[in-house]
């Protein structure tokens, strides 16, 4: 007879939600502790590996792979040996857990430096830059090396070529000495003495020094004596002596001092005759007087030519300026023909044009200075005028535009004057002081004196043309 088994059901104990939450939290903390961190893994790789304890499943799998469970099965350890193995396995795990906690909570290190304010409050004096440099020198003293030896300049190899040897750079003194030596050689080749070339070099250097320092004066009319004596007259002197070979006559008629009026004919297409007359008076007169020439408005309106004429002693042909020059005892030069005489054709050469209204005679009468008639022969042939481009001259604002055998055919080279032979003669002076200053307002006397001066110059020109052997000799 079968007996029925009776089973008794045990009622389950109800767990509160608080206890369940606490159990879950404790399990979560246990999992976090058992989960290895990256730093802990890196640390564990450096530590020596502990002996591994193979579980039964691992041993069974290895046995299955080898295929001989009896041969490869490990012997069961003794109870004492098992306890020792468990303790040895537990020791590395405790050290690993301690390393994980140390890597998870690193100890902070202080890296801040004390401020200057805290240093001052503590009574610590900061190190000065000089003391710091001295300390750095003392610290680097053992790092010093010996000074490199001074290189000795080896003597040049006589067998080396010019490109292999380095050339010395000359200084200023060497360049000046070489220049003077070259000028001496050139002077000897040109027939000049070395002393003369040295004197000219010294004069040039002295002129430059005075111009730079401003050691010169300019009068109220713009005359710069220092510039004229060192630039203008030396520049015109080769043209006066070697090109035109000027012959001067009647220098005794020019007074040694006091005012005088020089009246001359005007010709040459380009007004070079006024420059040659001034050069003749300056170079040939015993007192080396300077003629203050009177120029037209066009001369001083030209940019470069106007400044050059002012510095050379010329001034505007105005009555007031002439009276002031006479009052200062200057030698005044006037060319009454003006542009009519300079621009006349070659077929009318040495025929004086109209002298104007005689204003120069009136100024001489008022100042009581003598009038010196002056005749120039040779200027008519330096640039013969065979035509005149009046329309082009009117467009350019010029009184005339000449056509010569060389201009405009040769361009600017056409203005180079031909080397004709010149003769300048200063006639006997015509006294005006006996007439008195009131005679300047007498038109008949002014006209008579003007005509007398013109006829004297014309007759002198004819006489010089008869005496001249050739145009160029």
pLDDT single digits (tens) 14-34 = 556 667 777 776 776 666 666
Confidence check: pLDDT of 121 > 60: yes
Q: What is the pLDDT of residue 420?
A: 95
Q: What is the pLDDT of residue 24?
A: 74
The mean pLDDT value for 347-366 works out to 90
Integer CA distances (angstroms), 234 to 140, 228, 240, 274, in order: 72, 8, 10, 16
By three-state DSSP, how is residue 293 classified? strand
- Tell the residue number behind the tokens 């537990």, with chain if given: 90
For the chain, the average pLDDT equals 78
Higher pLDDT, 56 or 341: 341
**Sign of the C-alpha dihedral computed for residues 117, 122, 123 and 127 taken in this order:** negative
Integer CA distances (angstroms), 356 to 291, 318, 339, 454, in order: 22, 14, 12, 11
- pLDDT band at residue 229 under the 50/70/90 scheme: very high
Confidence check: pLDDT of 472 > 70: yes
Q: Is the model's pTM score more than 0.85?
A: no
- Tell the residue number behind the tokens 């006024």, with chain if given: 274
- pLDDT band at residue 119 under the 50/70/90 scheme: low
Least confident of 1-5, 192-196, 342-346: 1-5
Q: Would you state the torsion angle of the CA atoms of residues 268, 454, 316, 322, taken in this order, to the nearest 10 degrees?
A: 150
- Tell the residue number behind the tokens 């004297």, with chain if given: 456
Q: Nearest 5 degrees, angle CA 354-CA 357-CA 360?
A: 100
Higher pLDDT, 79 or 224: 224
| Burial class, 35, CB count within 10 angstroms (exposed 0-12 / middle 13-18 / buried 19+) | exposed
- At 290-328, the pLDDT tens digits run 999 999 888 888 888 889 999 999 998 888 899 999 999
Q: What is the pLDDT of residue 140?
A: 66
| CA–CA gap between residue 458 and residue 377 (Å, rounded) | 11
Higher pLDDT, 117 or 137: 137
- pLDDT band at residue 91 under the 50/70/90 scheme: low
Confidence check: pLDDT of 429 > 80: yes
Q: What is the pLDDT of residue 385?
A: 93
- pLDDT band at residue 377 under the 50/70/90 scheme: very high
Q: What is the pLDDT of residue 44?
A: 45
Higher pLDDT, 285 or 53: 285
Q: What is the secondary structure of 418-445 as a DSSP string?
A: P----EEEE---B--GGG-GGGGG-HHH
- pLDDT band at residue 287 under the 50/70/90 scheme: very high
| CA–CA gap between residue 296 and residue 44 (Å, rounded) | 114
- pLDDT band at residue 62 under the 50/70/90 scheme: very low
Higher pLDDT, 106 or 127: 127
Confidence check: pLDDT of 94 > 70: no
| CA–CA gap between residue 333 and residue 281 (Å, rounded) | 11
Confidence check: pLDDT of 110 > 70: no
| CA–CA gap between residue 299 and residue 310 (Å, rounded) | 10
41 token code pair: 């893994």
């Amino acid at each position: 007879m079968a007996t029925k088994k009776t089973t008794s059901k045990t009622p389950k104990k109800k767990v509160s939600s608080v206890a369940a939450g606490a159990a879950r939290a404790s399990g979560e903390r246990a999992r976090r502790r058992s989960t290895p961190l990256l730093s802990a893994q890196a640390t564990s790789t450096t530590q020596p590996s502990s002996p591994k304890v193979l579980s039964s499943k691992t041993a069974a799998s290895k046995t299955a792979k080898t295929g001989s469970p009896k041969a490869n099965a490990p012997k069961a350890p003794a109870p004492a040996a098992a306890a020792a193995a468990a303790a040895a396995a537990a020791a590395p795990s405790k050290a690993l857990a301690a390393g994980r906690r140390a890597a998870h909570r690193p100890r902070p290190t202080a890296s801040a430096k004390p401020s200057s304010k805290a240093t001052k409050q503590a009574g610590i004096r900061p190190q000065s830059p000089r003391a710091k440099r001295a300390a750095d020198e003392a610290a680097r003293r053992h790092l010093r090396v010996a000074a490199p030896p001074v290189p000795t300049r080896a003597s040049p190899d006589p067998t080396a070529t010019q490109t292999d040897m380095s050339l010395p750079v000359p200084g200023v003194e060497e360049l000046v000495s070489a220049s003077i030596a070259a000028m001496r050689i050139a002077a000897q080749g040109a027939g000049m003495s070395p002393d003369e070339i040295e004197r000219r070099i010294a004069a040039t250097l002295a002129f430059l020094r005075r111009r730079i320092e401003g050691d010169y004066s300019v009068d109220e009319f713009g005359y710069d004596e220092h510039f004229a004596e060192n630039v203008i007259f030396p520049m015109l002197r080769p043209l006066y002596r070697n090109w035109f070979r000027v012959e001067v006559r009647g220098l005794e008629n020019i007074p040694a001092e006091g005012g005088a009026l020089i009246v001359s004919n005007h010709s040459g297409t380009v007004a070079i005759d006024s420059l040659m007359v001034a050069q003749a008076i300056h170079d040939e007169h015993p007192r080396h007087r300077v003629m203050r020439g009177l120029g037209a408005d066009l001369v001083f309106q030209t940019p470069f030519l106007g400044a050059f004429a002012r510095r050379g002693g010329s001034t505007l042909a105005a009555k007031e300026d002439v009276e002031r020059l006479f009052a200062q005892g200057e030698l005044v030069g006037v060319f009454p023909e003006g542009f009519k005489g300079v621009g006349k054709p070659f077929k009318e050469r040495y025929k004086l044009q109209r002298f104007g209204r005689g204003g120069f005679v009136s100024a001489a009468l008022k100042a009581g200075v003598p009038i010196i008639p002056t005749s120039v022969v040779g200027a008519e042939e330096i640039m013969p005028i065979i035509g005149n481009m009046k329309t082009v001259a009117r467009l350019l604002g010029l009184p005339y535009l000449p056509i010569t055998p060389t201009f405009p055919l040769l361009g600017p080279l056409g203005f180079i004057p031909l080397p004709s032979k010149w003769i300048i003669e200063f006639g006997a002076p015509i006294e005006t002081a006996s007439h008195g200053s009131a005679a300047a307002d007498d038109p008949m006397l002014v006209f008579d004196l003007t005509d007398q001066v013109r006829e004297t110059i014309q007759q002198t020109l004819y006489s010089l043309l008869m005496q001249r052997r050739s145009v160029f000799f």
